[in-house]
Structure 1
């Protein structure tokens, strides 16, 4: 697991890696130490489809420690996304009118464009907690992610396939290169220090909806050169692992029904301006 250095942060993003240095799962960790409701420990947010697999993996590394793991079906996670880009960049917290019903309210650690994360009881209504909020749906949330080029979950980061640096883990504040040790550190650190990252997960806009595209479909340049692989998306927005040498070129792939789909990659606004890992 690659984590940030310990500091005052109450929310951290990380990837759980396998011994080969490839991503198994992406997670957000929340510190509950000193919580007024009496909770003490760490809350782990993950793709709900792999929660049981993560539980099993955590128990493997328990090793005689007096640590307990449990699922939290009584809690709900909310993403607070401002309705306009200017509001996303504001420093102030959302206006919470029922703070006693909020377990966690922290900035999304991955990028300021993802707003805030809020953890409440599953029976609580967000309209009663955050003033002037409009409850959206899951599709709107994922559409926003794909628009800004932020991966999340096993569809975007296939377990055992995705490499953390190619998946922009550094850009999402999810790793420290001055602290260790963690499973998979050797490959990650070596790649970072040699500075050789030839592919990156990038947002793409396609000429046809992504639902007809298989995960891992090969991308090509107009001249037929290999350019990467498609990962996932919604409607005409998606994420693809693209060779940086071809990132500015028009690309194409074939859908499952044999139709050629064209796509264009863009560089996310929240990436470092120099395009290098920090």
Structure 2
């Protein structure tokens, strides 16, 4: 089992954790988000607070760790956690998919709380989630661009179809029930040499005949995410770059998705 310090998520894919209530304290929640979206999130929450006695404040003393499973079998097991001495520690399953293991919020050094863990690098964490097809943060889910259902948030417990009113609920629910999702974010892997500067977000993904199949969204090295038309993911795909010409890529359907894309 390995654990790595990871980033949070954007306004479209934040983590909400309820704290155990004590009789002498008011109910409290921890909301994990992308650091780049912190200011926007605080303003958003303040706007909807109205006149309620709610306090919103950052908790910089808490660090976020991703506890990744060392094998598919381990992903379904229980993560070991030692009792912290005089500090706050919260370990919860990553709500997106079991392939992402657990999220650990802790003061100080989180690795000491996971016996047998191996401290990895941040880029290892991002490579793992790109291989699993898991978007995260404003880089992968740009505000005003990424749509919840196309970004597979319904597969990752990120969209409720039973909750009361929220912004965009009607359009999201109608699209879901009509089954007219024509594009999705897919994990992709490149083969062949890549440009030294990497692949720019928004680069067109093309079919063998040169037809538009979608757009590259983000990634790291030879793995990443691309928003692709469902009907065109099976055939050969490629992108064109000024440095290396044509670079082939393969899109895959993650095995943790609850249903195969239609």
Common fold by TM > 0.5? yes
TM-score by length of 1: 0.84
User: Which residue number in structure 2 is paired with residue 186 of structure 1?
Assistant: 170
Measured at CA, do residues 235 and 38 of structure 1 come closer, stay the same or move farther in structure 2, by a change above 3 Å?
Answer: farther
1:251 corresponds to: 237
Identify if the C-alpha distance between structure 1 residues 109 and 266 changes in structure 2 by more than 3 Å, giving closer, same or farther. same
Shift of residue 89 of structure 1?
2.1
Cα distance in 2 for residues equivalent to 1:163 and 1:150: 14
Q: Does 1:125 align with 2:116?
A: no
Match of 1:5 in 2: none
C-alpha displacement of 1:35: 6.3
Q: Which residue of 1 aligns with 2:15?
A: 28
Question: Mean Cα displacement is larger for which, 147-156 or 126-135?
Answer: 126-135
Name the residue aligned to 2:135: 151
Secondary structure of the residue that 2:125 maps to in structure 1?
helix
SS in 2 for 1:196: coil
Q: What is the SS of the residue equivalent to 1:61? A: helix
| Structure-2-length-normalised TM-score | 0.89
Distance change (3 Å), C-alpha of 1:14 and 1:213? closer
Asked if residue 101 in structure 1 is aligned to residue 79 in structure 2, the reply is no
Over aligned residue pairs, what C-alpha RMSD do you find?
2.3
Which of 190, 207, 211 is the equivalent residue of 1:206?
190
How many residues in Structure 1 have an aligned counterpart in Structure 2? 253
| Structure 1 residue runs without a partner (length 5+) | 1-12, 17-24
Match of 2:156 among 146, 163, 172: 172
- The answer (yes or no) to whether the contact 1:107–1:117 under 8 Å persists in 2 is yes
Bigger mean CA offset, 265-274 vs 204-213: 204-213
- Distance 1:238-1:83 versus aligned 2 partners, 3 A rule: same
Q: Name stretches of at least 5 consecutive residues in structure 2 with no aligned partner.
A: 1-7
